[in-house]
Structure formats: C-alpha cells, structure tokens
Amino acid sequence: MAMHAVHKILAAAAGKEQVFPGEIITAKVDLVGINDVYQIVMKSFEEMAGEKVWNPNKVYIFLDHNAPASDLKVAEAHKLFREFAQEQGCHLIDINEGIGHNLLPEWGLAKPGSLIVITDSHTPIHGAYGTFAAGLGATDIAAVLIDGSTWLKVPEIINIRLNGKLQDNVMAKDAALYVLGQLGTEFGTYKVIEFSGPVVEALSMEERTVLTVMATEMGAKSTYIKPDKTTIDDVEKHTSEPFIVHETDPDFVYEKEYEFDLTELKPQVAVPHSVDNARNAEEVAGIPINQVFIGSCTGGKLTDIAAAAQVLAGKKIPSSMRLVVTMATKQIVAEAIEQGYYKILLDAGATITSPGCGACSGLLGGIIAGKERCVSTANRNFPGRMGGSLEAEVYLASPLTAAATAVNGTLTCPGRNGLEE
Amino acid sequence: MIISGKVVVYNHDNISTDQIIPGPYAYIKDMKEMAEHCLEGADRTLRDRFRTVGNIFVAGSNFGCGSSREYAVIVLKESGVQAVVIKSAARIWYRNSVNLGLPVIFCKTLPDTIKEGEEIEIDFTAGTIREAATGIVHQGEGPSEFVMDMYKAGGIKPLMRQRMREKKQAEK
C-alpha cells in the first residue's frame, strides 16, 4: 500500500514496516515537552509509580506560559518544576528563554522525521519542519516520561493545496484564517493536515509555521509540509545532528484534497468568538480597538516583529490605544534590538514585555477588561480567552493588520505596500 | 457497559477548554477547588445542575476544542459527571477523557431533542442511547475496543501502574 511520509515516520517510531490509518500503534518519542500550566504531569507521574524519566536528555520543561511568575500559585508551580528537573536531570527552560514551540527550531530540535509530543495543543506547529508533532494531555505525557512511548491512532491525511501568489499586504496568517473561514474548525479533527502548493513553497520557515500552528484550530492532530531546500537549509543552520526525510509515495491517496487560489486574497480578520469567523479586513475596518497584541508562537516571531516595525516606523499610536508586544524568544528580542525594530516599537508607544506566551493564554501580560476589544496576532478568540471576561472581544489578524490598527486606533486593513493606505 | 441517569443539557457547539475551565484557574492545585469553576466560561449554573439535576452531560459538536488542558476533563469528573453525550469532540479533549476514564458517546440526534432532567440509558458497547420516558432509541457511536479496555481498566494510570509492576517483576 502506498504510504505518506507521515505514515513512514510513524511506522519507524513503532518499529514496523507499514502502518494503516485507524490502526493503534505504540510509538517511540524523540522529544517530549511539558509547559508550566501542567504541574499535574508530576502528580500523574508519581501516581503511575514513575521514578526516573526514561531519558532525561529528551525531556524539556518550558516555563513559558506564565513567565515570570504572575502570582504565588504560579511561583510554587515553577519551583516544583525546577526541583523535578534537577532531580531527574532533564532540561529546564527557565523564564528568560521564551516559548518552547519557537525555541525548538532555534535549537535544531524540530527536524524532519522526528516525533515530538508536548502538553500543548499548538504542538502541530512543528509539522512545518516535516516532524510528526502532536499535543497530548498531562497524564499522557506523564506516561511518556516513564517509558518513552505513547499510543497513537494512525491518522488519515488531508492535503490543502494553496495556489497562486500572496499579495504584499497578505501574510500566512491571512491564508490560515481564510482556510478556516472556508472549511471551519472541525474538518481536520483526528487528521494530519498537509499544506502544499506554490504559496507554501514560497514562504519562509517562520511563515510556514503560522499555517501549521493554525491547523490546531482546524482540529488537526498533526501537520506536514514536505521538507524542501528552505527546510533543509534552515534545519542544517541550527543542528549538525542527522535527520531523515521520508518521501510520500507517488501513488499515495489523500483522504481529502482541497485547493485554493490565494492570488486575490485580501487581509483577513477572524471576528469574535470563533477562529473560523473570517472576514475581509476592509469589511470590518473602523471598529474601535482598545489594545493590539503582537505576540505568541503564532504571531511573535521575528517576521511578525519586522512586519509590525515596517508599519509603525515613525508613527505614534493614539492615546486610546495600547500596543502590547511579546516577542516569542530571547533570540528574537536580541535580533529585534540589532535590526532596530525594538526602538521603532518603543518610539511608537508599544509596551514590550519579556519573551513568552504572554497575553495569548490570558494568564498575564496584557489581559483585557470586559467590553474591551483586542486585535491579536495570536491564534484564538474564544470567549474569555484573553483573561476571563466573556464580554471581551478578540479579533485575530496578521501582524501587518495589527500594526496598522495600532496606528489608527480602529481596525484597519493594511495597504498593498504593507503600510496603511 | 451501561450507564443510566438524568441529563444536564447544554446543546452548544465549539465549547472550548477556555470555557470549561478558564486558563487562570489552571494553577489551582486542589482539583475540588478547581472544579468549583467548572464550565464557568459557558454557563455558571451547570456545575450546580450536576448536583441537583443529573450526572450525564449532554452538549453539541467539537466539544473541548482549544487548549490541551486535561483539567477540562478533571473538573467534569470532580463535578460528578459520570458520562458525556456529545455530537463530536476535539481530539485532545477526547484523548484525555479516555486516559482519565470518563465515558463518552457520540450522538448527532439526542442533544437536539432531549430535555434537561430526563432519564437516559447509555449502552456503550452497542453505541445506543435509550430515552426512559419515550423508549426512543438513538444510534450513536460508542468507544472502540481499545478505548473500552481503557475504561474498564479505569484509565491509563492503573494500566501504567500494572506495566510498572510487571517490569519490576521481570527485572527481579
């Protein structure tokens, strides 16, 4: 039977020649991550009679969701994580580093052919690197800590082919929101979503990860983008460790295939309270906005900061607006300083927080009040997402749209040259 | 496996884990205390209704979408929910429910017609739900054999403990 590259990754991890969609396999894991929301991992580990993690060098604890600790409960959780890491000898990525999802590629740990599981729903982001990566719950992860493997149902594969060429004011985020608007939030449940086509091939690695991270909101278990020269060059820049690129057999049959031409695509905004409420930004332009958030694994990368700086150069945000910028990693902060983006943002009136997940998860760093509206480059606009108020509204957009909105104080569609018109 | 009881109905789609247990509560260590906020982002009365009305929860499609937080299963269990009838589930939430042994059955029809407080009988093996008052039987989708085994074991924790014991004995 013809196999997809993802099925070959899973077969290798299960020590099998072949795997079939629907089959339940026990797969060996190459890297396991835990984030700071889930101290329950350690409790479950104890409850399952875990003593030593199977391979401390493959275990990463990321203190990224609520960093630096915002209150006593969080501080206590962080302390427990540090003690656990010390005792087990596993990697503890402390509050100064940034978001785990963005650190893995920087460290050459997201690479073709490997299998990653993390206690985080946005783990499918790493499919951009040809990795099989899935989010798991805390107890699931505790079981992986014990024996280095997990049960997986072999998924069907859906192919989304993106044809044409994106306009200058359109980014991968707009493409992702458009696909969500067309196909909804459930079409990919339990499936692997592959992104392919000329639009994807032309994207940088950072931009490709926007498609794969947003696939979480399409229900995906994992994602895949066929590794090409862009992928290989990027991975080899960050690691000298070997990796395997599996090829999809030419006669492989996808469960479903969708095709979109994005040449005429305009900047998109997902209006409250669902990720698939996609609209052309120009249709919702003019809505008064209280805060713009530029950050998260989805929208706090160097590309996003550069895009925002391009719009904000020489501009000042109005007094009715708060612009909160949370860069994804320490290295991005350093680059933003070197490239001059940091100063542009500061001069424009931005509040720049320390790297991490920040306001995206609604835990700290830019929570919004009831009846306030926020335009966010992050990935979710569910009720209560940014701090708990069910009356708060989150609008998802690209960093270009977010920055143009920050300049005007109202929802703004960026112009064709990337700047507001 | 058969579970019967009265239903609490919240027939909405896309109930996210942010609504089942809002993020800021995720650092509460005591699960009973956390469960006091169960479904707070959807309808604050639901938690009480699990005490006063019934212990089978009925909701719509894509239940548990969003974050991977396992707490979104734990708080339901802690609130006394014995079984869940939904049109469909988000993947990680469903997987967590399997690992923690909270029985779930998928049914496209029952959530649209059943009324709060009515009694139902779920046959997980047959994948059917019978309304006690009318005798109407809904065909749903019950758990796979693998999942059923997990329910019978009481979730992944007892299974792992068993595996650890066997490993230790083998080492001896």
- pLDDT tens across the length of chain B (172 residues): 999 999 999 999 999 999 999 988 999 999 999 999 999 999 999 999 999 999 999 999 999 999 999 999 999 999 999 999 999 999 999 999 999 999 999 999 999 999 999 999 999 999 999 999 999 999 999 999 999 999 999 999 999 998 888 888 888 8
Q: Is the ipTM of this complex over 0.85?
A: yes
**A227 & A273 share domain:** no
Min distance B135 CA to chain A CA atoms (Å): 32
**Whole-angstrom Cα distance, residue A120 to residue B139?**
34
**Whole-angstrom Cα distance, residue B84 to residue B102?**
8
Do residues A60 and A100 make contact, with C-beta atoms less than 8 angstroms apart? yes
**A200 & A285 share domain:** no
**A208 & A295 share domain:** no
Which chain B positions have a beta carbon within 8 Å of A73's beta carbon? Answer: 27-29
Instruction: List pLDDT tens digits, range A109-121.
Output: 999 999 999 999 9
- For the record, the structure tokens of B67 come out as 């974050």
What pLDDT does A419 receive?
Answer: 56
Least confident among A304-313, A352-361, A392-401, B154-163: B154-163
Average pLDDT of A244-250?
A: 97
Average pLDDT of A147-168?
A: 97
Average pLDDT of A22-27?
A: 95
Return the DSSP state at A391: T
Q: How far is CA A302 from CA A153, A294, B33, B84, in A?
A: 35, 11, 40, 43
Residue A419, domain member (yes or no): no
Supply the range of the domain harboring residue B71: 2-171
* Summary mean pLDDT of chain A: 96
Instruction: Please count the structural domains in chain A.
Output: 2
Which chain A positions have a beta carbon within 8 Å of B161's beta carbon? Answer: 47-49
Which chain B positions have a beta carbon within 8 Å of A121's beta carbon? Answer: 66-68, 92
Sorted by sequence, the CB contacts under 8 Å of residue A114 that are 6+ apart come out as: A9, A30, A31, A131, A132, A243
Angle, CA A100 vertex, CA A183 and CA A308 arms, to 5°: 65
Least confident among A141-145, A161-165, A280-284, A387-391: A387-391
Across the beta sheet with B137-139, what order do the strands follow? B104-106, B83-86, B56-59, B2-10, B119-123, B128-131, B137-139
Band (A417; pLDDT cuts 50, 70, 90) = low
Scanning every residue of chain B, which has its alpha carbon at the shortest distance from the alpha carbon of A391? B41
Band (A50; pLDDT cuts 50, 70, 90) = very high
Q: Is A22 exposed, middle or buried (0-12, 13-18, 19+ CB in 10 A)?
A: exposed
Contact B10/A at CB under 8 A = no
What pLDDT does B5 receive?
Answer: 98
What pLDDT does A298 receive?
Answer: 98
Q: Is the pLDDT of residue A421 over 90?
A: no
**A206 & A300 share domain:** no
**A154 & A70 share domain:** yes
Candidate from B16, B28, B91 with C-beta closest to A221: B91
**A349 & A207 share domain:** no
Q: Is the pLDDT of residue A159 over 80?
A: yes
Supply the range of the domain harboring residue A279: 269-408
**A292 & A231 share domain:** no
Q: Is the pLDDT of residue A18 over 90?
A: yes
Say yes or no for a CB contact (<8 Å) between B157 and A139: yes
Which chain B positions have a beta carbon within 8 Å of A363's beta carbon? Answer: 23-24, 26
Count CA atoms within 13 Å of residue A318 on its CB side: 13
**Whole-angstrom Cα distance, residue B115 to residue B25?**
31
Interface test with A, best of B70, B166, B168, B169 (most A CBs within 10 A): B70
What percentage of chain A carries pLDDT values higher than 90?
96
From A226, A259, A292, the end of a domain falls on A259
Q: Is B134 exposed, middle or buried (0-12, 13-18, 19+ CB in 10 A)?
A: exposed
> How is chain B classified by DSSP, letter by letter?
-EEEEEEEEE--S--BHHHHS-GGGGG---HHHHHTTTTTTT-TTHHHHHHHT-SEEEE-SSBTBS---THHHHHHHHTT--EEEES-B-HHHHHHHHHTT--EEE-SSHHHH--TT-EEEEETTTTEEEETTT--EEE-B---HHHHHHHHHTSHHHHHHHHHHHHHHHH-
Min distance A86 CA to chain B CA atoms (Å): 21
What pLDDT does A416 receive?
Answer: 63
From A208, A227, A259, the end of a domain falls on A259
Q: Is the pLDDT of residue A212 over 70?
A: yes
**A278 & A340 share domain:** yes
Instruction: Please count the structural domains in chain B.
Output: 1
Say yes or no for a CB contact (<8 Å) between A66 and B27: yes
**A22 & A104 share domain:** yes
**A194 & A298 share domain:** no
β partners of residue B16: B65
Average pLDDT of A190-219?
A: 98
Residue A414, domain member (yes or no): no
Beta-carbon neighbour count of residue A82 at 10 Å? 14
**Whole-angstrom Cα distance, residue A394 to residue A385?**
8
> What CATH number is attached to the domain comprising A147?
3.30.499.10
> What CATH number is attached to the domain comprising B126?
3.20.19.10
Closest CA to A151 of A23, A17, A21: A23
Residue A264, domain member (yes or no): no
pTM of the model: 0.96
**A64 & A194 share domain:** yes
Contact B14/A at CB under 8 A = yes
Return the DSSP state at A79: H
Q: Is the pLDDT of residue A420 over 90?
A: no
From A259, A286, A301, the end of a domain falls on A259
Which chain B positions have a beta carbon within 8 Å of A382's beta carbon? Answer: 14, 16, 18-19, 66
Residue A246, domain member (yes or no): no
